[in-house]
Structure 1
């Protein structure tokens, strides 16, 4: 299956700057998956089991999104994660094979002239085919359904552990529930580790074989290695108490950390890195700028709402 004609990928192919931005989005998804995995372990080790479960769950979700995004240039982001879960299960709610499409990019790039096509739909089998036939990842058809099974169970258990007060209040010192929370946080962390390893292999395969980066392959390897070492590892180190967790993360990310590139084919590497970073500065990546502006506005609105009540005589 070739996704190059999907409107989402055409959006990213329209300029060198947009292609750099696609790589940047992929790195953001990957860094989010790895960081949440590390935080999940750290919380688990500190007996914050329900929040460990949530962090691990979102690590799994980010890994799943990355796998889709690399192929399609978009991913489903609706229906309470139901679409992405069903996609990796290869079926819809009724148990029938179903077509799926992305909708994250439509929201991000609505002001950039992006128009999605109703014909840009795909199945799990087609996603597996892309990784097998185009990116030389032969085990995708066995590993991707595993992600679907994990997401199916993980979503329900994550909701139970964080939404149901009758369970949450008994996480500590309860004969049965505490033991179940320990088992759940351990299993969710193991699931996040497995999914991070799968997404790492997918990312490596994309960097190594995707036709869209044929002319920039060595440069892309260099940039990804730089960001793994310069952005991912330091951010994790700052967020965890037990620094040995970083070694656990590196076990999962090793295939990207070990990427080899030919420096002779990367002329003026420092300038290449500068150009890459300039492509996703807020002034050059309008969609990112708007997202951050809206986030800042909403944070300030919440702060003001709370302040206005706190300064009153209501309590």
Structure 2
């Protein structure tokens, strides 16, 4: 068999870069066919559950005058009785929501609940013969796994793009300011209108809810992990919202002097500098002052605003807990009783 030499390599080598056997080419073709067949089967399985969401909103642009705005997004049916998961930013403040199924049927939808902190929302339609998508498990996702996005970019219904899970464990901020953890990064192309649609595994299971893209980049897209959605949908269906606690402070993350870390054996290198305190809030009643630095809540060390958000869960509502602070270089403990949050507050 004739030996070939790479053009870029000037050193002759015997037997290098031999012609590829026909059997290998055929195997490659079979692999490509298998990949295509996998994607096709996933799309056929999941696309009947994917819906187009048209939204109308009333917005005031000047006193005594409002105008109607229209928007578009995606979602997917996740129960046979018509519950649909989508993004909060798709349906937020909607005056009318209309859902179009993959078979062309159109229905008005009601808002069940939304959680801007995770950018997730649940809406519902009353319709027969619905196909529900199967929810997977996002905990054990690995970079390199096949990822398939189905949605309605720019209104083009049931558009399919495929790629891989580029990374897991990313974080970004929701519109409310809270950090969303464990976000999935993918290179499956997303465009405006894909928001709320499913990111699907090669098994045909939903592993994420497509939510954002870096417009100035290519192939850097993000999805809320489906395990986060599983946690959120229960409270949304039951209460219309996710209960969280708050203490009523505004602050910023600041580094701690090394001498304070060593003197008080602190396990964090930063804390939250209190900039403002809401009147008659838990923080106000606990005696917290501006310029205090929060370094602990309960048994949890606090190094940042995001750490505080993570511990202010529903379970902390009305639970008296120690708040560890540094005040004028002195470590103190205050007792605080968080209240239920009514919005994006700390």
Could you say which TM-score interval applies, normalised by the shorter chain?
Answer: under 0.3
Larger Rg: 2
Q: Please identify which structure carries the higher helix content.
A: 1
Structure 1 length-normalised TM:
0.21
Q: Please identify which structure carries the higher strand content.
A: 2
